[in-house]
């Protein structure tokens, strides 16, 4: 039977109370937000924390602030379902809301949080890839204050991140989308059902004033490395150029050359390599056309 180990349960009412507990309990405790990953790990005896700090109902850590011309802030305990259904986010960041809709089942999305999706740091996680493409930063809080870093710098690898003792991830900051830009997200699994992605990707393209020449591009791959993989080759191929079929082909080849996938129960490394090329070709074209219409 999957029976949880004995543990102390704490439910702070404020962010400051949570930070006090995190500092005092240290490695003995685990943070509970939605619990969709944590409880499974506890049931499977992967971890046996002596204490649980439940931050899921702290108002300071929930919600979305989206202001015209000022980007957005998403608090870490905001549920994936809330992000999926946000019309404000959908208007500015459709790649993120679409990625949220692809995470698990409806029941999972109602419980899971955006902070937990990044803190669990799975290479196949849905939201870190578009967050990275959109230039998002994470805000990490402690009793000593806050610090910020890009999300691709926060995630170090599978279940590894930049949180230090006494810290929690408190929110995400998304910059305002620049003029003549668009971001698109895509994912592929082995079947049309609830499952972990075999691969995923987000592409963000900004065009010059002519709405044809690519000014900047950021392509981020998921589930083909230990963390979200930001392409270094694709910008060198596309920046300063107008998209054509030859460049699209080169983009696919570049993404495939940078990917470092493994074989597991969801897909072989060879399959992931093939798919990442197809996703790159499709999403670059979709983002480019969307940017031209922006």
Residue span of the structural domain in which 31 resides = 8-52
Instruction: Kindly state whether residue 3 falls inside one of the protein's structural domains.
Output: no
pTM comes to 0.93
What local confidence, expressed as pLDDT, does residue 170 receive? Answer: 98
Q: What CATH number did the domain enclosing 282 receive?
A: 3.30.390.50
User: Which of 113, 143, 174 finishes a domain?
Assistant: 174
What local confidence, expressed as pLDDT, does residue 261 receive? Answer: 85
Which band of pLDDT confidence, cut at 50, 70 and 90, is reported for residue 2? low
pLDDT in tens, 22-44: 999 999 999 999 988 898 899 98
Element (H, E) at 77: none
Instruction: Kindly state whether residue 146 falls inside one of the protein's structural domains.
Output: yes
What local confidence, expressed as pLDDT, does residue 36 receive? Answer: 87
What local confidence, expressed as pLDDT, does residue 269 receive? Answer: 86
User: Which of 174, 200, 230 finishes a domain?
Assistant: 174
Instruction: Kindly state whether residue 89 falls inside one of the protein's structural domains.
Output: yes
What mean pLDDT is predicted for residues 117-122?
Answer: 92
With a cut of 90, say whether residue 5 has pLDDT above it.
Answer: no
Q: Please tell me the total count of domains within the chain.
A: 3
C-alpha distances in Å from residue 279, one per residue of 128, 154, 221, 245, 276 = 17, 25, 9, 15, 5
With a cut of 60, say whether residue 192 has pLDDT above it.
Answer: no
Which string of DSSP letters, residue by residue, matches 160-209? EES--TT-EEEEEEEPPPPTTEEEEEEEE-SSSSS---SEEEEEEEEE-T
Q: What CATH number did the domain enclosing 12 receive?
A: 3.30.43.10
User: Same domain for 138 and 209?
Assistant: no
What mean pLDDT is predicted for residues 98-123?
Answer: 93
Residue 36 to residue 110: CA distance in whole angstroms: 10
C-alpha dihedral, 44 to 46 to 52 to 56, nearest 10°: -70
Which band of pLDDT confidence, cut at 50, 70 and 90, is reported for residue 262? confident
What local confidence, expressed as pLDDT, does residue 75 receive? Answer: 98
Instruction: Kindly state whether residue 237 falls inside one of the protein's structural domains.
Output: yes
| Residues 258 and 232: beta-carbon distance below 8 Å | yes
Instruction: Kindly state whether residue 59 falls inside one of the protein's structural domains.
Output: no
What local confidence, expressed as pLDDT, does residue 4 receive? Answer: 81
Instruction: Kindly state whether residue 256 falls inside one of the protein's structural domains.
Output: yes
């Amino acid at each position: 039977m999957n029976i949880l180990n004995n543990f102390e349960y704490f439910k702070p009412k404020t962010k400051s109370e949570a930070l006090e507990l995190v500092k005092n309990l240290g490695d003995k405790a685990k943070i509970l937000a939605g619990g969709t990953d944590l409880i499974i790990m506890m049931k499977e005896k992967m971890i046996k924390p002596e204490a649980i700090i439940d931050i899921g109902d702290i108002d300071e850590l929930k919600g979305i602030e989206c202001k015209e011309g000022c980007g957005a802030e998403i608090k870490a305990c905001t549920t994936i379902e809330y992000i999926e259904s946000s019309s404000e986010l959908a208007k500015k960041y459709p790649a993120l809301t679409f990625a949220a809709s692809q995470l698990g089942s409806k029941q999972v999305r109602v419980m899971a949080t955006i902070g937990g999706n990044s803190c669990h740091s799975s290479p196949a996680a849905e939201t870190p890839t578009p967050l990275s493409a959109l230039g998002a930063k994470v805000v990490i809080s402690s009793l000593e204050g806050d610090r910020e870093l890009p999300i691709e710098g926060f995630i170090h690898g599978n279940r590894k991140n930049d949180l230090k003792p006494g810290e929690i991830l408190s929110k995400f900051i998304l910059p305002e989308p620049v003029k003549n830009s668009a971001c698109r997200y895509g994912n592929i699994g082995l079947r049309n059902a609830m499952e972990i992605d075999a691969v995923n990707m987000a592409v963000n393209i900004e065009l010059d004033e002519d709405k044809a020449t690519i000014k900047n591009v950021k392509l981020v791959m998921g589930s083909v490395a230990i963390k979200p993989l930001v392409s270094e080759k694709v910008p060198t191929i596309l920046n300063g150029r107008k998209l054509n079929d030859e460049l699209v082909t080169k983009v696919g080849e570049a993404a495939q050359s940078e990917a470092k996938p493994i074989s597991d129960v969801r897909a072989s490394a060879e399959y992931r390599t093939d798919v990442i090329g197809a996703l790159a070709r499709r999403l670059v074209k979709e983002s480019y056309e969307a940017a031209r219409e922006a």
